[in-house]
Structure 1
Amino acid sequence: MLSPATIGVTVLLLNEKENRTSRIFFYLLTVAGFYFVVGVSLMLGISALLESVSNIFQNQTISWIIFIIGAILFIASFYVPAKKSADLPSPKSKRLISIIILGLSTALIEVGTAFPYFAAISILSTSDLTSMEWVSILAGYNLIMVLPPVLLYVLYLLFGRWMDKPLINLRERLIKTSGSALSWVMCIVGIILIFNSLDYL
């Protein structure tokens, strides 16, 4: 839920005076829509993929490779440098298409680190759910994902310019701690790979 890029761009859009509401709405809709399409695409193809590779992962050599990859990720997570500063994507023009492109670029930047989302999709793919059920779950997941920026927008509507300084400070803090977030993701994924490979070593 705490996506540094998505929240940071939302803060940036809150500082705009023209068409603020519509631009934020289309930005978040684009990000959530992109992740939803990725989730549906993976759900439609992951079952066949799992069936084709399930026997491969039971091979001792493959298990050792997975174990080593997990160990490398776990160890490397302690050496991820913290970012002192970073530039977030920003709209190049006032046109609506620029906001949609901004949403797509933000989603593309962070989709590779959305391991909790991929883990949830993996769990759904092994569950006995109907298409309507897992589509609803994916939609709910993506709705929850954009709740923090929506909450920031609501707070801005309620408290107005009083929120300017806290939002800017939040944006800078999220940017500086994005390296730490990557470190946690690497650590968690490494542990998951290690434990999932132990049975076949």
Structure 2
Amino acid sequence: MSTTLALALTGLALLDSTSFGTLLIPIWLLLTPGRVRTGRIAIYLATVAAFYFCVGVLLVLGAGAALEAVREAFADVPPTHLRIAQLVAGVAVIAWSYRLEARARSRAGEPGRLQRWRTAAMTAPEGEGVGGRGVRGLMSLALVATTLEVATMVPYLAAVGLIANADVTWQVTGGALAGYCVVMILPAVLLGAVRIAAHDRAEPVLRRINDWFTRNSAKAVGWTVGGIGIGMALNAAITLLAEPG
């Protein structure tokens, strides 16, 4: 593998490391007051890396042909109809975000279900957790987060394309994918190390941040969902207006 390719993959992996599943959720887990369960964080990050690796292997093996089949299935549908469907879906997502925010206001100040689940999963003794499934819950969270991000894996898709077109052996391909996944979770690992090393000094700050998240995380979910809906609707509307005739 050339140095240029290695540097390109490293840059894409670092860009991927800032996503919701690879950085924001780990930070949220690290904000749990009390002793950090490094094993639990490791399980989450390992699940994320393994999922990305498996997706990369499938793409290299030709799973992209399945996506092409989907595109062909919709080839006869007029683009205008698809954009109208996207616009309707975007408006529906915006409406849903208002419902989420209204529910958040009605429960202002209460620890939400996610906060209670996080505390149980991250602080319960080994083998316990939410219904005795703390570790499995963390793995499920990792799989859900990464599955939702599949459609937006632009850096990873670009990296897989570079690897696939590099004309390298399967051993090098597997090593490149594995290395990409390691670099991708590296910032979260480093943040975890800082959290452990500065435990006493960081604890008061983390408690204040955690309290803020407890009060506002549900609202943030509504804002995030609304932003996604606005993006979908605007993209569809702009495309429809730009189409000739």
Specify if TM > 0.5. yes
Cα contact 1:30–1:104 (8 A) shared by 2: yes
Unaligned runs of 5+ in 2: 1-18
State the Cα distance separating 1:15 from its structure 2 match.
2.2
Residue-pair matches, total: 196
Hey, what's the Cα distance between the residues in 1 that align with 2:223 and 2:45?
A: 24
Paired letter, 1:74: G
Residue of structure 2 equivalent to 1:167: 206
| Equivalent runs, 1:43-58 vs 2, <5 Å | 43-58=60-75
Q: Is 1:66 aligned to residue 66 of structure 2?
A: no
In 1, distance between residues paired with 2:94 and 2:205? 30
Larger Rg: 2
Residue 29 in structure 1 maps to residue 65 in structure 2: no
| TM-score normalised by length of structure 2 | 0.57
Corresponding residue of 2:226: 183
Q: Percent identity?
A: 17
Q: State which of 5, 29, 35 in structure 2 corresponds to 1:16.
A: 35
Shift of residue 115, structure 1, vs aligned partner: 5.0
- In structure 2, what is the equivalent of residue 7 of structure 1? 27
Secondary structure of the 2:198 match is: helix
CA RMSD of aligned residues (A): 4.2
Amino acid at match of 2:57: V
The letter for the 1-side match of 2:86 is G
How far apart in 1 are the matches of 2:226 and 2:152? 17
Structure 2 distance, partners of 1:142, 1:72, is 39
List gaps (5 residues or longer) in structure 1. Answer: none
CA contact (8 A) 2:88 2:233 kept: yes
**Structure 1 contact 27–103 (Cα < 8 Å) conserved:** yes
Q: 1:150 to 1:126 in 2, by over 3 A?
A: closer
